[in-house]
Amino acid sequence: MSRYRAVYDCVKNIPRGRISTYGAIAAALPGITPRMVGYALHACPRAEDIPWWRVVNSRGSISLPPHAGGEVQSALLRSEGVTFAANGRIDLKHYLWHPATDD
């Protein structure tokens, strides 16, 4: 299985209305780094149903600039009921999903 495929398969399991981080995804996949998770999601096949917008950085923030998909990611998360604090961050204690625990 390719490394990107492993990332996609893991991200597909993130429940609607929850988020994960690049680091949490990487920690669940041997040989994968958080940066590789980002690269994989950037190269995500559009024909597949991979919820890339559910992956954020370790601070609970969207890493993409607004003009490069950040506004789209924010809108998709909000449409699933995810809320953002005034500082633009997502409450990880409330919304974080860990692949290892699958809760």
pLDDT higher at 37 or 69:
37
Which tens digits make up the pLDDT trace of 38-52?
999 999 988 789 999
The residues, ordered by sequence, that sit 6+ positions from 71 with a Cβ below 8 Å of its Cβ are none
Give φ, ψ of 20 to 5 degrees. Answer: -135, 175
Residues 43-67 have a mean pLDDT of 91
Mind listing the pLDDT tens digit for each residue in 7-35?
999 999 999 999 999 999 999 999 999 99
Residue ranges of domains in the chain: 3-95
Contact 66, 75 (CB under 8 A): no
| Euclidean distance between CA atoms 23 and 27, whole angstroms | 6
What pLDDT is attached to residue 68? 85
CATH, domain range 3-95: 1.10.10.10
